[in-house]
Amino acid sequence: MVDAKKVRENIARMTNKVSSVTSGRVQPHKHCRICFTPIKLSAEPRVCKNQECIDKNERDERNQKQMRIWMFIFFGIFAFGFVGPILFRLL
């Protein structure tokens, strides 16, 4: 026989745990995005004081920016290839 009261208690405990994790009350700190060392909440950019992490983060950010530009260019070409013929047909 399943004890309904116990089941309800278990569910309540589980949802409690989940909500405390999602609300971030458990960990009032950030982690270095390179080596995941706990760092101050106010740390910006989100890396520790390790020079290696600072350099790597900078490189990553530059790569990301470049990637975004390329994505934009490709999207522009794609959009033009798609919309262009329709526009030309309308003109």
Shortest distance, position 64 Cβ to Zn ion, whole Å: 18
Task: State which residue, 45 or 84, has the beta carbon closest to Zn ion.
Answer: 45
Shortest distance, position 54 Cβ to Zn ion, whole Å: 8
How far is Cα 66 from Cα 50, in angstroms, rounded to an integer? Answer: 25
How far is Cα 41 from Cα 22, in angstroms, rounded to an integer? Answer: 17
Shortest distance, position 29 Cβ to Zn ion, whole Å: 13
Nearest to 41 by CA among 32, 50, 53: 32
45 DSSP 8-state letter: S
Task: State which residue, 30 or 53, has the beta carbon closest to Zn ion.
Answer: 53
Residues at the interface with Zn ion (CB under 5 A) = 32, 34-35, 37, 48, 50, 53
Nearest to 34 by CA among 46, 22, 23: 46
Task: State which residue, 38 or 85, has the beta carbon closest to Zn ion.
Answer: 38
